[in-house]
Amino acid sequence: MSRPDLPPRFRAPSALAWVLMVGFAAFFIQGLYGADVSLDRLIRGATNLVRFVSLAIPPDFARWETIGWAMLETMNIAIVGVTFGCLLSVPLALLAARNTSPNAVVRVIARQLIAIARTIPDLIWALIFVVAVGLGPLAGILAIILDTIGFAARFYSERFEEVQKGPSEALTSTGAGRLSVIAGAILPESFASMTATSLYSVEKAIRSAVTLGLVGAGGIGVELSTAMRLFQYDQAAAIILVVLVAVIGFEHLSSSIRKRII
Amino acid sequence: MPQTFADPARPGPALRAQDLHVSFGDLKVLRGVSFDLAKGEGAVLLGANGCGKSTLMRALNGLAPVASGQIWVEGQAIVGAPLRAVRAARRQMGYVFQQFNLVPQLSAHQNVLFGAMGQRPLGVLGVMNAFARAEDRERAMACLDRVGLADRATHRPAELSGGQQQRVAIARMLMQAPRVVIADEPIASLDPKAGREVLDLLWRIVEEEGLSLLCTLHQLDLAEEYGRRLIGMKAGRIVLDAATGSVERAELDALYTGAARVDAAPEGVAA
């Protein structure tokens, strides 16, 4: 009996792979064409960018007081929104996790709610809440709450599902009720991971809260969009610098807290 | 040898299983298991890996769903009983696990306090160190003292050796103040010396408190030394049940040969 043939170096892609590749290529070329990219436009864009930078330097901190208060409002929106978001995420995540949910129907509903909160971008939430409660920080807070739930509740529930079964079973075997077992074993085991997720939520919320102002939901974004529209690029640059410092500062703070608890 | 403890106010066996059947999917794990465990009796359950021992233990506590048959814990039927009754039965039954199953993030003292969780009306709130009654905090400390670990009260499980963790788990069982104790391979993850210490402690506490004990072990020598009654399982059935002195070593060895696992022996063909 002769030896089987050497395996080929390449295998012909399947029909489905061909369809996907051709479809992707078509979509990509159409997109490039639609964006109307030309050398002329790229050169003009670069000149405009240089003009913007030259106008933005040096940054104008004359309105530092207003900028400072607006940045504080942004931080307030982020912190208040994340706090409520994380608190609401805990019960929602418990309902959504396989090992803590009372039944399959509740679990599917909770998962859908979390998925909806996550799928709709924070700016759209802000637009919706500006319509509902008017311009200002409240709309921003509500948008951050929803955005945080979409993120934190999902990670909390995944963590709950990873918790080892032993300690919960041991508490169940003493005759304890379900809520007691959750609070006595599953929450303590998930605590470190939940804190890390919550801290990351704050970082994410500060970044979101900056942009929420662009649609009128309060905070420093309102100042930024005004400065840009009035071509006061030096003031805009000052605002962007303040945002940069605040975001980087908090990221350092939160990563040092994370290192301590994990 | 201590006398069998019998309380005239509570007649009947501490634990009774009658024709228990448990299946996971198509696999029949328990195929008609019946036995009584008298009050104050200490029995050792033997059998090869996969013969259904752990499933039997879990079924006795209501952790594994029973297809048919009945279990009585201190006279309380638990198969098909409402959850409230199952919890009442669980409160009577201490459970010692192979993997200790302490909550890793909490101190030894807090883990022991959790033993009383099923007995406090507010559940976990009643046994959190910060809110627990002074008597309970004191009693948890006394339980830790009894297993010789009072000086480790604030340590987390990871800071304790395997044998110490199992002793904390035994203190948690003491805190629960049960009537019956089931121990599922309590020394299987310990070295021989620590294992013997844990068995000595477990048996001493069970005898001092007049509890009934069903303990699975893998070491035949220890089984004959500690158990006064040996129950042998093979392929989902009890094939041996006798006082320790009357059992030949060959009979015990036979438990581990041939089709001992439930997945190796189809229903009806078993040993």
CB B73 within 8 A of CB B89: yes
pLDDT > 70: what percent of chain A? 99
Residue B181: closest CA among B73, B34, B52: B73
A194 touches B: beta carbon within 8 Å: no
Tokens of residue B267, six digits = 């229903």
Buried b (16+ CB within 10 A) or exposed e, A11-32: eeeeeeeeeeeeeeeeeeeeee
Residue A210 lies in a domain: yes
Say whether residue A169 is in contact with chain B using an 8 A CB cutoff. Answer: yes
ipTM score here? Answer: 0.88
B148-152 long-range contacts (CB < 8 A, ≥24 apart) are: B148/B201, B149/B108, B152/B108
Helix runs in chain B, H state only: 53-60, 83-91, 108-113, 124-127, 134-146, 162-176, 192-209, 220-226, 249-254
Is residue A248 domain-resident? yes
- Pairing between strand B93-96 and B180-184? parallel
Angstrom distance (rounded) from CA B234 to CA B50:
9
Q: Which residues contact B118 (CB under 8 A, 6 or more apart)?
A: A174, A175, A176, A177, B87, B90, B91, B176
The answer to whether B87 contacts A169, with C-beta atoms less than 8 Å apart, is no
CA distance A37 to A191: 50
Would you state the pLDDT for residue B3? 37
How high is the pLDDT of residue B271? 40
Q: Do A172 and B90 touch (CB under 8 A)?
A: yes
Minimum-distance CB partner of A171 among B94, B99, B114: B114
Least confident of A103-112, A169-178, B261-270: B261-270
pLDDT for the residue B6: 47
> B80 CB contacts (<8 Å, ≥6 apart)?
none
pLDDT at A1: 62
**Stretch among A4-13, A142-151, B178-187 having the lowest mean pLDDT:** A4-13
Q: Do A170 and B88 touch (CB under 8 A)?
A: no
Q: Can you tell me the distance from the alpha carbon of A194 to that of A89, in angstroms, rounded to the nearest whole number?
A: 10
| pLDDT band with cut points at 50, 70 and 90 for residue B270 | very low
Q: Is the peptide bond before A7 cis (omega within 30 degrees of 0)?
A: no
How many Cα atoms sit within 13 Å of B24 on the Cβ side? 10
Q: What is the pLDDT of residue B4?
A: 42
CB distance B114–A169 less than 8 Å?
no
The boundaries of the domain holding residue A91 are: 64-261
First to last CA, chain A: 61
Q: Specify the number of domains making up chain A.
A: 1
Q: Which of B91, B104, B117 sits opposite A171 (nearest CB)?
A: B117
In this structure, the number of other CB atoms found within 10 A of the CB of residue B13 comes to 18
- Phi, psi for residue A27 in degrees, rounded to 5: -65, -40
Q: What is the mean pLDDT of residues A191-200?
A: 91
CATH number for the domain including A200? 1.10.3720.10
B244-267 pLDDT per residue, tens:
888 888 888 888 888 888 887 766
Please, what is the average pLDDT of chain A?
A: 89
Q: Pick from A156, A140, A133: which is nearest to A81 by CA? A: A140
Chain A: give the shortest CA distance to residue B271, in Å: 32
Digit-coded pLDDT (tens) for B8-55: 556 678 999 999 999 998 889 999 999 999 998 999 999 998 888 999
Question: Using one digit for the tens of pLDDT, what is the confidence trace for A158-172?
Answer: 999 999 999 999 999
pLDDT at A145: 94
Instruction: Give B150's pLDDT tier (boundaries 50, 70, 90).
Output: very high
Q: Say yes or no to pLDDT of B1 above 50.
A: no
Using a CB–CB cutoff of 8 Å, tell me whether A177 touches chain B: yes
pLDDT band with cut points at 50, 70 and 90 for residue A12: confident
Domain ranges of chain B: 12-92+178-271, 98-177
pLDDT of B269: 47
DSSP state letter for B66: -
Mean pLDDT of the region B106-116: 93
The residue among B6, B15, B10 whose CA lies nearest residue B33 is B15
| Residues B78, A95: Cα–Cα separation, whole Å | 28
- Alpha carbon dihedral B109, B110, B113, B117, in 10-degree steps, equals -170
pLDDT tens sequence across B172-221: 999 999 999 999 999 998 999 999 999 999 999 999 999 999 999 988 88
Please say whether the beta carbons of A184 and A196 come within 8 A. Answer: no
Residue A110: what pLDDT? 95
pLDDT at A162: 93
For the cut 50, the answer to whether the pLDDT of residue A6 exceeds it is yes
Query: Is the CATH number of domain B12-92+178-271 3.40.50.300?
Result: yes
Cβ-defined contact of B172 to A170 (cutoff 8 Å): yes
| Cβ pair A101, A79 in contact under 8 A | no
Rounded to the nearest angstrom, the minimum Cα separation between A262 and chain B is: 12
Q: Provide the β-strand partners of residue B21.
A: B31, B68
* Cross-chain residue pair A180–B99, CB shorter than 8 Å: no
Give the mean pLDDT of A134-152.
Answer: 91
Give phi and psi for B77, each to the nearest 5: -75, 135
Confirm whether A217 is domain-assigned: yes
Residue A170 distance to chain B (closest CA, Å): 6
Q: φ and ψ at B257, to 5 degrees?
A: -110, 155
Task: Spell out a b/e string for B49-59, using b for 16 or more CB atoms within 10 Å of the CB, else e.
Answer: ebbbbbbbbbb
| 8 Å CB contact of B90 and A177 | no
Instruction: Give the mean pLDDT of A191-214.
Output: 89
**Is B117 in contact with A192 (Cβ distance < 8 A)?**
no
pLDDT at residue B260, rounded to an integer: 82
Give the phi and the psi of residue B268 in degrees, each rounded to 5. 95, -20
